[in-house]
Amino acid sequence: MGKKIKFGTDGWRGIMAEDFTFDNVRLVSRAVADYINGKGMGGKGVVVGYDNRFLADKFAGVVADTMVANGIPVYITESATPTPVTAFGIKTWDTAGAIMITASHNPPEYNGLKFIPEYAGPALPHITEEIEANIKAMQSESPGDMIFISGRGDQEEAMALAEMPVAKETGGFNKPEIREINPFDNYSRHMANLIDIEAIGRAGLKLIVDPMYGCGIGYLEGLLREAGAEVQEIQCHRDPLFGGNLPEPTAKLLGELREWVLEEGAHLGMALDGDADRFGLIDSDGTFITPNQFLPLLYHHLVRNRGIKGPVTRTVATTHLLDRMAEAFGEEVYETAVGFKYIGQNLLEKGCVLGGEESGGLSVKGHIPEKDGILACFLAAEIIAVYGRSLQELLQDLYNEFGSIHSGRLDVHTSPEEKERVLAELRNYNPDHLAGVPVKDRITLDGMKLVLRDESWVLVRPSGTEPLFRIYAEAKNKDRVQELQEEMCNKLGLKH
């Protein structure tokens, strides 16, 4: 039996040539094909997209060949395409779902495969569990029972075997085949309906865009220029090594963007991760605006300026400032486990205006239930254009109305043995007080979260892949955040 293949919070990822191999991609692709066919949706086809990583287009070709070999037509993007744009292709071509080859913000030696079902959002656990069961069943078969078509590099041979030609986008399918598509036009028209394009055009914004060498190149800057903004871009060519860094839009990795914003006197710097589903923002004074800060700004804008009423949904690790605002607006808050799949579910089922997570993913009502960094950056530009003020200034107004709040995350590495010990302690850890304040609520939705009487909170959440604990905290000031994190480390015997 082969090595166990497991889907994490957002798909299956592995190190290329070690775990993420052509054979394993064929295996997972066939498992997805069995899932689609088992639901009676194979005839609708599937969209296949890929990012800018090493061999990503070849891996996508393997996926496409495997799909058509199992009777499923394929719409494959003609070039590297962001995850949210690939997901939007599901709606454009009314397919059974999409498969995206990406490892998102992981190091360059990683690649990954993400299945996006027909609702155009991340696959829920019951779906990935069914796919994993299909994989396990196939791994137990003898090699002679495994039927795979060779990769896109041998496409002529593969298509001859399957009698399934590659075609450009025209009309419908007569039989399963691979068809190349460009989903940008439909996505951009949809985006124009979500964003106040005219406000951005009138404001004369000067913007710096950093796609971090990822597959978001050409999307955000192109759309912003069409809207009438003055745009400059950096790190805007393909580099599978991502300039020697992670393609993750964090404060630590956006130093060059910050310098450009300050040197050019830009209104805003905006960054995308490797597959453009997460965002990063640098304000005009060089300040990094965290997702925990931008999400409340966006919620306020949607409700107060656009007049869109409805609840909000956030992960257990995301700011409670959203809760204060929702209460003032007379709306509900839906808290979920970490993973945008749960946010997407609430966007679909609960009518939420906004869904987001502290790690940089968000979507809004009217869009697909998939996180979209392009949309997030576009909305940030709209907010600045509408109010004519910096994000920092608008954030201070928000604090004046709803109370200031500070968030932080501390990563504590342990040994595997120590991790098991701490996990055992957490199961029974239920204090009356923490750092001198009574505990109001204990939440075990994902990890262990203590909400205190003064509205501060701390969350201890183990990593699912390594001996590591993430300790999130939120309070009225930074010192209190650190105090809560230190107190929790001391209580659990964690050293950092």
Is there a single domain that holds both residue 442 and residue 304?
Answer: no
How many whole angstroms separate alpha carbon 341 and alpha carbon 10?
8
Count Cα neighbours of 24 within 13 Å in the Cβ-side half-sphere.
21
Radius of gyration of the CA atoms of the chain, in A: 23
Q: Are 430 and 443 in contact (CB under 8 A)?
A: no
103-112, 174-183, 296-305, 356-365: least confidently modelled range: 174-183
Q: What is the pLDDT of residue 143?
A: 52
Same-domain status, 332 and 384: yes
Average pLDDT, integer, range 477-484 = 96
Per residue in 31-76, pLDDT (tens digit) is 999 999 999 999 999 999 999 999 999 999 999 999 999 999 999 9
Cβ–Cβ < 8 Å for 452, 443: no
**Which domain range does residue 216 map to?**
187-402
Look at residue 495 in the predicted model and tell me its pLDDT: 86
Q: What is the pLDDT of residues 394-414, one digit of tens each?
A: 999 999 999 999 999 999 999
SS3 of the chain: the string is CCCCCCCEECEEEEEECCCECHHHHHHHHHHHHHHHHHCCCHHHCEEEEECCCCCHHHHHHHHHHHHHHCCCCEEEECCCCCHHHHHHHHHHHCCCEEEEECCCCCCCCEEEEEEEECCCCCCCHHHHHHHHHHHHHHHCCCHHHCCCCCCHHHHHHHHHHHCCCEEECCCCCCCCCEEEECCHHHHHHHHHHHCCHHHHHHHCCEEEEECCCCCCCCCHHHHHHHHCCEEEECCCCCCCCHHHCCCCCCHHHCHHHHHHHHHHCCCEEEEECCCCCCEEEEECCCCEECHHHHHHHHHHHHHHHCCCCCCEEEECCCCCHHHHHHHHHCCCEEEECCCHHHHHHHHHHCCCCEEEECCCEEEECCCCCCCCHHHHHHHHHHHHHHHCCCHHHHHHHHHHHHCCCEEEEEEEECCHHHHHHHHHHHHHCCCCEECCEEEEEEECCCCEEEEECCCCEEEEEECCCCCEEEEEEEECCHHHHHHHHHHHHHHHCCCC
Which of the listed residues 166, 182, 198 is the one where a domain comes to its end? 182
310, part of any domain? yes
Place of tokens 């599978």: 240
Task: Please tell me the predicted confidence (pLDDT) of residue 281.
Answer: 98
* pLDDT higher than threshold 50 for residue 145: no
Domain boundary among 402, 434, 449: 402
What pLDDT band is residue 266 in, cutting at 50, 70 and 90? very high
Single-letter amino acid, residue 454: D
Confidence of residue 175 (pLDDT cuts 50, 70, 90): low
For residues 141-167, give the mean pLDDT.
42
Cα–Cα nearest to 49, from 85, 23, 14, 13: 85
Do 201 and 67 share a domain, yes or no?
A: no
The pLDDT, as a whole number, for residue 176 is 79
Say if residue 223 is in the same domain as residue 272. Answer: yes
Q: State the average pLDDT for the chain.
A: 92
The answer to whether position 373 is within a domain reads yes
On the question of pLDDT at 27 being above 50, the answer is: yes
* Co-location of 160 and 194 in the same domain: no
Question: Do 450 and 457 meet the contact criterion of CB atoms below 8 Å apart?
Answer: yes
Query: Domain boundary residue among 368, 387, 402?
Result: 402
CATH number, residue 346: 3.40.120.10
Average pLDDT over residues 240-249: 96
How much is the average pLDDT of 140-155?
Answer: 45
pLDDT number for residue 164: 42
Q: Is residue 301 part of a domain?
A: yes
Residue 120 predicted with pLDDT over 80: yes
Residues 54 and 196 in one domain: no
Task: Indicate whether 26 and 168 sit together in one domain.
Answer: yes
Residues 6+ apart with CB under 8 A from 197: 226, 227, 228
Band the pLDDT of 23: cuts 50, 70, 90: very high
Amino acid at residue number 489: C
At 176-218, the pLDDT tens digits run 799 999 999 999 999 999 999 999 999 999 999 999 999 999 9
Q: Which pLDDT belongs to residue 139? A: 87
Same domain (yes/no): 427, 396: no
Predicted confidence (pLDDT) at residue 231 exceeds the cutoff of 80: yes
Q: Are residues 381 and 255 in the same domain?
A: yes
Judge contact between 153 and 67, C-beta under 8 A.
no
In the prediction, which pLDDT does 449 show? 98
Counting residues of the chain whose pLDDT is more than 90, the rounded percentage is 89
Res. 162: pLDDT tops 80: no
* Residue 287 covered by a domain: yes
Q: What's the CATH code of the domain at 463?
A: 3.30.310.50
Residue 230: how many CB atoms within 10 A of its CB? 14
160 pLDDT higher than 70: no
Q: Which two tokens stand for residue 218?
A: 């050409």
Instruction: Specify the residue for token string 């990503």.
Output: 56
Question: What total number of domains does the chain contain?
Answer: 3
Q: Do 130 and 222 lie in a common domain?
A: no
3 in any annotated domain? no
Phi, psi of 72 (to 5 degrees): -110, 120
Cβ-contact 272, 374 below 8 angstroms: yes
Provide CB contacts within 8 A for 420, sequence distance 6+: none
Residue 3: count of CB within 10 angstroms of its CB: 11
- Work out the pLDDT band at 157, boundaries 50, 70, 90: very low
Specify the range with the lowest mean pLDDT, choosing from 167-176, 255-264, 271-280, 452-461. Answer: 167-176
Identify the pLDDT of residue 4: 74
pLDDT band at 140 (very low <50, low <70, confident <90, very high): confident
